Structure 1
Amino acid sequence: MVRLLRYFPTALILGLGLVLTLAATAWVERWERLSRQSEFQKQTNNLTTALQRTTNRYTELLLSISDLYDAANNEVDDAAFRRFVNRAVTTYPGIQALEWAPQVTQPERANYEQQLSQLTDGDRTFITERDEQTGQLIPAEQRDRYVPVTFLEPIPSNEPALGYDLASDETRRIALEQARDTGAIAATGRIQLVQETNENQYGFLVFAPIYEAPTVSLADRQSKILGYVLGVFRVADVVEESLRDLDYDIDFYILDQTAQPSEQLLGVYQTASRSVSAEPQKITILETNSALCAVPADCIQTIQLGQREWQIVFVPSSMQTFLWGTVATLVIGLLLTATVLIYVARWQSELQRTRELSDLKLRLFSMASHELRTPLSIISVSAQSLAANLNELSPEKRASSLDRIQVAAQRMGKLVNDMLTLTRAEAGKLEFNPEIIALEPFCQQLYEQIHLKAGQTLLRAGNATHSQIFADKSLLSSILLNLLSNAAKYSPEHSSIRLMIHQEKTAVCFQVVDQGIGILPEERSAILDAFYRGENVGAVSGTGLGLAVVKTCVDIHQGTLAIASNADGGTTVTVWLPQVE
């Protein structure tokens, strides 16, 4: 329960942070998605309006030319036609050409071709059509009626169209007949223009019928048709002119819904190149399932042109559909949650550390008051006995009292040194002052501080007993003194204690082997904690600081400590200290 309560604030902050982050992310995602959808719809409406406005301008232009013929009683020559339309073709770059094509019957063909030759200074001497096999222009076959291009502006780059029979191609003928029969402007499906040099570009024609006299019926319109005013357009030019003042990252397809499915594609506008292409390898599957379109129909707009319906299918770019604000909100929320968690974790760690230090101080004071009381009592009693009976005590008893005082003082000194070592290490102020140490005299001085039981022997062996090492003398003394004292304290009388010292290339090994009570397996993980004592120590006195001090001093040397013990008796403690050349 205590452990659960300890982690409760962290779990609460984590849960609350995640809930708030997810809620904020969901709200921002909805707001951003709706904003993107609204902006996308606004942009597609603007694009559609721009295209519709451009095509309307072209149809109005054709109607104004038909008004010219009406005002001039259909008596318009080549020069007048070119003067009238010159400004329009100069102003609107989307217009490939403006033309006049009269209807010519078979009996009138010879006379017309003579006039065409005079009009073109002999450059065109007959009505032409396109050869289906070679694609070249050839003299038109005989038929009842022809609709040859006669007036043309501008002439440069459009010369091949002069004399071309518009009725020789089925797609053009269908639009011609539709314009004639309805008396309204009619557009063709996609075609390859006669003057087009790029095979991957489609064009279209828009016809306005011109009649000899006013008509009231279909029969009147079919019998009184004089010819057609027409505009020639490339799909790419029309689209690029419409979008020249707009800068949106939206690709779109233009489809002629009036045509057969295989003939519907007019072009693909790609924002990367800012151009329209109809190359098959650049045409991808129509994708309308975008986050910016609540339903697929939201990605589709239509425009009307010459009794045909064009469909604009918009494809948002990946940059438009990616919700940057949503991702940013999620990341910021998670970062804030993580920051608060780290702060709380540190605060809990510091609080736990403060509690542990407080507990350590309490145990330290409690232990010190208990452990120091015994040697102080020994010193006090022995000193009082010497003072009261100095002249009556034999030299042996006086020496025994002095020896007890010395042992008690050493015990107090060791206890104080151990407490100071742990306290300074805990505060990060334990100094490390390495020096060259001759092991032979150093170990001899240590042996004098070890109080052995009756019959116990202390042996020293190894290849480095007479060597020199580079270490902190005070810390090394604490390591070996605690290990040897523990070995003597917990080993029986008449047992041997061995100190093995081995020197290798990169480290020095100190190994203390005893025949003591051993360490229980379940206690080995806690035996290095301060104040911890095993359950099998019995009545043997101690503070539980020895191995904790050893571990601290070994860590200061950046060494390693290993303990191997048999529960039935005997413990081996191995210390490796790095050797400095």
Structure 2
Amino acid sequence: MILIVDDSPENIISLKRVLEKNDFEVDTASSGEEALKKILKKSYVLIILDVQMPGMDGFEVAEAISGYSRARETAIIFLSAASANVNLITKGYSSGGLDYISKPVDMNILLLKVKTFYRIYEQSRALNQMQDALREEIEFRKEAERKKDEFISIASHELKTPMTSIKGYIQLLERSLDKHDKETIRTRLRKVQNQVEKLNLLIADLLDISKIESGKLKFNKRYFAFNEVVDHIVEIMQQSNPHVKIIKKGSIECEIFGDEMRLEQVIVNFITNAIKYAPDTDEIHINYHLEDDRIYFSVRDFGIGMSEEHQEKIFDKFYRIEETSERFQGLGIGLYICQEIIDRHHGTIGVKSTLGEGSEFFYYIPLHPSKELINQYQHEF
């Protein structure tokens, strides 16, 4: 927008008419004081400013404008009948003016200068946008680098923990073998097996995240019995965690279409997290059923829960809740992988949680995808 400042109504009318005819948006002020009030409220690309006005003259207005952050980059063209006065011209430039036009105004010259300033303004704005985008990109590289370094550190620690435990149990096993203590050997072998399984899960997650990043996470979708999968998982998880009662509610009698192994991976992740983050409770609830043409599955715990802020970020890659990162181990990629799996099943994943009262992780997936999607899966995989 252009602001014309002149105490002469005739000048304002003629300038405004010419500029609007050439598709410029125009505002006007008949005094320096009025101009300053408008500049405080609006942003202008260009100000056409008469020098000789009663009250505040054009130079005083320009000097005042230079102190406004809103108008600091605004271009000013001075208008004056005193074209031969070199001192006035010099004062105009020193007051912040970028150009000077003598009265009576040659409209062709004025239009040429206005178009030039607008072109410079657009180029400057485009350059600023490029600089902003570049700064954001640099900050995103820096943040990505920080997250990568943090992830490597966490992964190294998480992988080292079960390895250290395995090494310790093997040393204890050697002593038990010397004593021929079969019961102790069995107990310690089970503990080694548990640590190996932890290590296996960590490595599997690392491989999956690499495949997601490279677009190579494969899916083998077919029809299978969902009830059987859930029953099998619950049985195994219950045996591994006898201190927690896993309460299962619901049933899906028909077969569903999807990747059995990947959906099993999501269910195991939900249950494992529920047990991990509810160490002081003795039960978790599993609920699954059909809702119209969708499968609903959820795991509810009664543990530490999380705030709304954390709920919004919990499925982000590498995200770990700082308050729990020291107490609970993890790479911060399990739920990110779960989200990718559910996305690839054209479903939705989410969490409902109350801090201090527990969390419920859930997902919906379509019971029967369209024939087009099935054909697509068969061609892709």
Asked if Structure 1 and Structure 2 have the same fold, meaning a TM-score greater than 0.5 normalized by the shorter chain, the answer is yes
> How do 1:200-211 residues align onto structure 2 when only pairs under 5 Å count?
none
- Quick check: 2:281–2:303 contact (8 Å CA) kept in 1? no
* Pair 1:566-2:354 in alignment: yes
Given residue 268 of structure 2, which amino acid in structure 1 is its aligned partner? L
Do structure 1's residue 360 and structure 2's residue 123 form an aligned pair? no
Q: Is the 8 A contact 1:434 1:470 kept in 2?
A: no
1:439 is matched with: 226
Shift of 1:512: 0.9
Within a 5 Å distance, the mapping from 1:416-495 to structure 2 comes to: 416-425=203-212, 427-436=213-222, 437-447=224-234, 448=236, 453-464=241-252, 466-492=253-279, 495=282
Report the alpha carbon displacement of residue 405 of structure 1 after superposing the two structures with TM.
1.7
Q: Distance in 2 between matches of 1:515 and 1:535?
A: 18
What is the one-letter code of the residue matched to 1:435? K
Matches within 5 A, 1:358-397: 358-387=145-174, 389-390=176-177, 392-397=179-184
Counterpart contact for 1:483–1:546, Cα < 8 Å: no
CA offsets 1:295-335 (integer angstroms, 9 cap, x no match): 59x9xxxxxxxxxxxxxxxxx9xxx89947744762x4454
Checking the alignment, whether the CA contact within 8 Å between 1:463 and 1:501 is kept in structure 2 is yes
Alpha carbons 1:432, 1:472 under 8 Å: kept = no
Deviation (angstroms), 1:413: 1.6
For 2:207 and 2:129, the matched residues in 1 are separated by 33
Equivalents in 1 of 2:284, 2:308: separation in Å? 22
Which amino acid letter does the alignment assign opposite residue 462 of structure 1?
A: G
Indicate if the aligned counterparts of 1:453 and 1:493 stay in contact, CA closer than 8 A.
no
Structure 2 residue matching 1:577: 3-state secondary structure:
strand
2: CA distance, partners of 1:322 / 1:557: 63
CA distance in 2, matches of 1:346, 1:324: 32
Partner secondary structure for residue 323 of structure 2: coil
Q: How far is the alpha carbon of 1:407 from its aligned partner?
A: 1.0
Q: Which residue pairs with 1:518 in the alignment? A: 305
Whether contact under 8 Å (1:492, 1:515) holds in the other structure is no
Q: Residues 89-488 of structure 1 correspond to what in structure 2 (within 5 A)?
A: 323=111, 326-327=114-115, 330=118, 332-387=119-174, 389-390=176-177, 392-425=179-212, 427-436=213-222, 437-447=224-234, 448=236, 453-464=241-252, 466-488=253-275
Task: Quote the Cα distance in structure 2 between the aligned partners of 1:391 and 1:295.
Answer: 111
Larger CA deviation: 495-504 vs 480-489: 495-504
For 1:538 and 1:374, locate their aligned partners in 2 and report how far apart those are by CA, in whole Å: 13
| Structural mapping, 1:8-23, within 5 Å | 23=75
Say if 2:176 and 2:185, in contact at 8 Å, map to a contact too.
no
Segments of structure 2 that go 5 or more residues without pairing to the other structure are 1-69, 80-101, 371-381
Deviation at 1:445, TM superposition (A): 4.6
**Larger fraction in helix:** 2
Q: Is the Cα–Cα contact under 8 Å of residues 450 and 484 in structure 1 kept in the other structure?
A: no
Q: In structure 2, give the amino acid aligned to 1:353.
A: F
Q: Which string of whole-angstrom CA distances, capped at 9 and with x for unpartnered residues, describes residues 40-59 of structure 1?
A: xxxxxxxxxxxxxxxxxxxx
Aligned equivalents of 2:188 and 2:136: distance in 1?
50
**Offset at residue 375 of structure 1 (A):** 0.8
Say which of 355, 361, 364 aligns to 1:576. 364
Separation (CA, whole Å) in 2 of partners of 1:531 and 1:539: 15
CA contact under 8 A between 2:246 and 2:284: conserved in structure 1?
yes
1:507 paired residue among 294, 302, 309: 294
> Structure 2: which amino acid aligns with 1:409?
V
Q: Which residue number in structure 2 is paired with residue 152 of structure 1?
A: none
Report the residue type matching 1:486 in the other structure: N
CA offset digits 1:190-232 (Å, max 9, x no partner): xxxxxxxxxxxxxxxxxxxxxxxxxxxxxxxxxxxxxxxxxxx
Q: Report whether the alignment pairs 1:532 with 2:320.
A: yes
Asked whether the 8 Å contact 2:305–2:355 carries over to 1, the reply is yes
TM-score of the aligned structures, taking structure 2 as reference length: 0.59
Distance in structure 2 (CA, Å) of the matches to 1:20 and 1:538: 50
Contact kept in structure 2, 1:517 and 1:536, CA below 8 Å: no
**Structure 2 CA distance for aligned equivalents of residues 334 and 479 of structure 1:** 53
- Residues 459, 497 of structure 1: 8 Å contact kept: yes
- Cα distance change of structure 1 residues 536 and 494 upon mapping to structure 2, 3 Å threshold: closer
Q: Contact 2:219 / 2:262 at 8 angstroms: preserved in 1?
A: no
Contact 1:518–1:565, Cα closer than 8 Å, also in 2: yes
Structure 2 CA distance for partners of 1:340 and 1:377, relative to 1, 3 Å: same
- Once residues 344 and 139 of structure 2 are traced to their aligned partners in structure 1, the CA distance between those partners, rounded to angstroms, is 24
Take 1:349 and 1:416, find their aligned partners in 2: how far apart are those partners?
33
Q: d(CA) in 2 for partners of 1:445 and 1:321? A: 84
The superposition leaves residues 238-275 of structure 1 with CA deviations (integer Å, 9 ceiling, x where unpaired) of: xxxxxxxxxxxxxxxxxxxxxxxxxxxxxxxxxxxxxx
Deviation string 1:118-164 (CA, Å, 9 cap, x unpaired) is: xxxxxxxxxxxxxxxxxxxxxxxxxxxxxxxxxxxxxxxxxxxxxxx
Q: CA-to-partner distance for each residue in 1:552-579, whole Å, 9 max, x for gaps?
A: 4444444333322222322212212344
One-letter amino acid of the counterpart of residue 574, structure 1: F
Amino acid at match of 2:291: E
User: SS at the partner of 1:532?
Assistant: coil
Partner SS, residue 320 of structure 2: coil
Identity of paired residues, percent?
A: 22
1:359 Cα deviation (Å)? 1.6
